[in-house]
Amino acid sequence: MVNSIIELIEDPELSNVDDPEEKFITSGVNWESYEALLDKIVDNSHYRINYLDGLLEIVSLSIRHENIKTNLGMLLERFFYKKRIRFFPMGSSTFKNKARKAGAEPDECYCIGEEKKVPDLAIEVVVTSGNIRKLEIYRRLGVQEIWFWERYQFKLYHLRDNSSTEKAAVYPETYGYEQITKSELLPDWDISLLEQCISISDSIQAIDEFERGIE
């Protein structure tokens, strides 16, 4: 199983020069195969691997995706410094829970206030939509807040119900998360300002406008 997946992600079609972002999803993958795959590509930052109940998702990242991710992290960390918020960046680390059959590699993630084993905030840049249930993965991992950037805007979710059932009863459509309009982890954060500045191609201009907005 692992070798066949490795052959697939090394296929030239997944690294086309036209800068696509491709997703490959397969089912029936056991936990041992998932961990073996992570070990095989541990030094390859071109892919993100997500896992839920035997469903495995591999994403080959586009340059556009990485540009957005980098700009987003740059601006967010400027905000932390400006507001004197203690934070611990965890990048695109792999988080997994064997007992709950879930694993994810967010684009950016942070602990706020103090360092923890699981981030408080995970951020996903969505260029190509898939069908793996990301919110359910993050619920099982215990991540408090998720931000999805898609189509030039953010959707924010905060964890309300972390019960062990497959779908949390209070918020069944979002797996225990409630969609929110303002971050609860960062209540002074202006998400509309980030949406505006992240779309500016010139990084110096983006930083200048962003810092003026948070003064």
Q: How far apart are CA 171 and CA 164, in angstroms?
A: 13
* Cα separations in angstroms, 123 against 126, 140, 148, 155: 10, 16, 6, 10
Mean pLDDT on 87-101: 95
Specify the amino acid at residue 81.
Y
Q: What is the pLDDT of residue 46?
A: 79
At 16, is the pLDDT very low, low, confident or very high (cuts 50, 70, 90)?
very low
Direct distance between the N- and C-terminal alpha carbons of the chain, in angstroms, rounded to an integer: 53
What is residue 18's predicted lDDT score, i.e. its pLDDT? 60
pTM, 2 dp: 0.86
Which domains, from first to last, does the chain contain?
62-213 (3.90.1570.20)
Taking all residues of the chain, what is their mean pLDDT, rounded to a whole number? 86
Query: Does residue 146 register a pLDDT over 80?
Result: yes
Give the residue-averaged pLDDT of 88-112.
96
* Tokens representing residue 90 in the block: 């965890």
pLDDT digits 0-9 by tens, 30-79: 999 999 999 988 776 678 999 999 999 998 888 888 889 999 999 999 99
- The whole-number average pLDDT for the span 193-205 is 90
